Amino acid sequence: MRISTQQMHQRAVELIQEQQGRLAKTQGQLASGKRFEAASEDPAAAVLAMRLTREIAATQRYQANAEAVRNRQVAEEGTLTRVTDLLHTVRELVIQGNNDTLTVADRRALSESLGLHLDELLALANARDSSGEYYFAGFQSGTRPFSRDAQGQFIYHGDQGQRTLGIGPGVSVPMTDSGESVFQRVRAGNGTFVTASDPANAGSGAISAGQATASFTPGSYNIGFSQTGPDGSLVYVVQDGVGNLVVSGNYVSGAAIGFAGAEVTVTGIPAEGDRFTVEPAGYRNIFSVIQGAAEALAAVDDEPVARANLHAQLDRGLAELDGALEQVLLQRARVGSRLTLIDSQTLANEAFQSASNEALSSAQDLDYAEATARLQLQLVGLEAAQRSYLSIQGLSLFRFLG
C-alpha cells in the first residue's frame, strides 16, 4: 500500500487536532468542575444528576416553608400565651367580685377592669402576623375575624378552614386556625348543663354551676321551693321538662341536691315559689362570658335578691372561664405539636439534602487529581504529535534527486 506525502501530512494534522480536542475537553472539565458538559457524554449519570437536582431544589423549598410556618406558629403561640394570662387575670377579678363585702362602687370598678380586658382579648383574637394575615380567621386570613356590633354582640367573620403548607413529602402543617374553634365554641355552664335563677325569684337563694356524673341524664329540669309545716321549713322539688317528679327533699343551704346524675347546691334563703332551671349546655364565646360578668357586676345593688343573682351569674361565669382556659390551652398544645413536627421534619430534610448533595457530587463532579494527571499526559501527547509532524513534514524524494 502506498501512502502519499499528502496523506501523511493530512493524517498528522488529524492526530494533532484529536489531541487538541481531548486537551480542550479536559481543560473544560477542570474549568467547570463537572465530569460532563452534555448528557450524551454520560446519559445515566446525567439522568441521575437531573433527578437529584430537582429533589434538592424541592427540599430547599420545603425548608423555606418550614421556616415560614415555624415563625408563624411561634408568633401564634405567643399570642395564645397572652390570651391565657389575660383569662387568668379575668378569672381572678371575677372571684374578687363574687364577694359580699364589696361595695357597689367596688364592683363597678371591677366591671370597668373587665371591660378593658375584654377589649384586649378582642385585639388578641384579631392579631396578625408580619405579612398582615390574621391568625384566627381560617381560610379568610385577609379578613378581620371578630367584631362587636351596635347591640354588643360578637360576630365571627372567618370560617372553619385551615390553610396548610407542605414542609416535606406528604407532610403539611396548618398556617391558620379557626377563630371559632379557639374563641367561640366554649361550652356554657359547667360544660354539661347550665343552671339559672328565675328572674321572678324573690328570695336570696343562689344556685351553683353544679357538676354532672357519668350517669347524668340530659334534659331540662326545674328546681322549685315551697314552705311546709308549722316551722316554715323549705322543701325542694325537682321536676323534669314535662313536669314529672324526679326527686324532692328538705332544703338545707349549701347542701347538695342530686338528681338524674347531676348535683347542684343552692345557698341563701329561697322564697316561696322561687325556682331554678337546669338546661343542657350549649355554646358561648369567650367574649360574651367576660361581657356577661362585667354587666352583672355593673348592674348589681346591695339587695339580697340582687346579690343572689350576682353570685349565680359569677359562679356560672367562672365555670365557663375554666372551659375557655381549657380550650385555649388545648390550642396551645396543638401549636406545640406542630412546632415539634416542624423541627423533626426540618432535621429529616437536612439529612436528605446532605445525602442528595453527596450523591449529586458523585454523579457529576470531576475528580481533579485524575483530570490533572490526564491533562499532563494529553499535553505530552500533543507535544509528541507536534514534534513528530515537524520531523516528517520535510521528508520528500526530491531532496535526494538532482
Q: What nine digits make up the cell of 141? A: 386570613
Question: Given this model, what pLDDT does residue 79 score?
Answer: 94
pLDDT band at 375 (very low <50, low <70, confident <90, very high): low
Phi first, then psi, for residue 3 (nearest 5°) are -115, 120
Mean of pLDDT values over 16-22? 62
Question: Given this model, what pLDDT does residue 96 score?
Answer: 94
What CA–CA distances, in Å, run from 194 to 99, 208, 235?
22, 10, 22
The pTM for the full model equals 0.74
Closest by Cα among 215, 238, 216 to 226? 238
Beta-bridge partners for 173 = 165
pLDDT exceeds 80 at position 394: no
What is the overall mean pLDDT for the chain?
83
Give domain 64-188+319-353's CATH number out of 1.20.1330.10, 3.30.40.230, 1.10.3720.10, 1.10.10.10.
1.20.1330.10
pLDDT exceeds 60 at position 88: yes
Question: Given this model, what pLDDT does residue 240 score?
Answer: 93
Question: Given this model, what pLDDT does residue 214 score?
Answer: 83
- The DSSP string of 105-174 is HHHHHHHHHHHHHHHHHHHHHT-B-TTS-BTTSTT-TTS--EEE-TTS-EEE-S-S---EEEEETTEEEE
For cell 325542694, the residue is 236
pLDDT exceeds 90 at position 111: yes
Question: Given this model, what pLDDT does residue 247 score?
Answer: 94
pLDDT tens-place string over residues 139-184:
988 899 999 988 889 999 998 888 889 999 989 998 888 998 899 8
pLDDT exceeds 70 at position 25: no
Range among 160-169, 298-307, 324-333, 367-376 with highest mean pLDDT value: 324-333
Mean of pLDDT values over 190-217? 89
Question: Given this model, what pLDDT does residue 24 score?
Answer: 60
Question: Given this model, what pLDDT does residue 276 score?
Answer: 94
pLDDT exceeds 60 at position 62: yes
Question: Given this model, what pLDDT does residue 224 score?
Answer: 94
pLDDT band at 384 (very low <50, low <70, confident <90, very high): low
| Cβ-contact 321, 94 below 8 angstroms | yes
pLDDT exceeds 90 at position 101: no
pLDDT tens-place string over residues 120-137:
999 999 999 888 889 999
Question: Given this model, what pLDDT does residue 312 score?
Answer: 84
How many percent of the chain have pLDDT more than 90?
A: 43
d(CA 182, CA 184) in angstroms, rounded, equals 6
User: 99-108, 224-233, 287-296 — which is least confidently predicted?
Assistant: 224-233
pLDDT band at 92 (very low <50, low <70, confident <90, very high): very high
Closest by Cα among 151, 273, 180 to 222? 273
Domain ranges (residues) in the chain: 14-32+370-391, 64-188+319-353, 193-281
Question: Given this model, what pLDDT does residue 130 score?
Answer: 83
Looking at residue 232, its amino acid is: G
pLDDT tens-place string over residues 29-58:
555 556 555 555 556 656 666 777 788 788
Q: What nine digits make up the cell of 214? A: 357519668
Helix, coil or strand: residue 242: coil
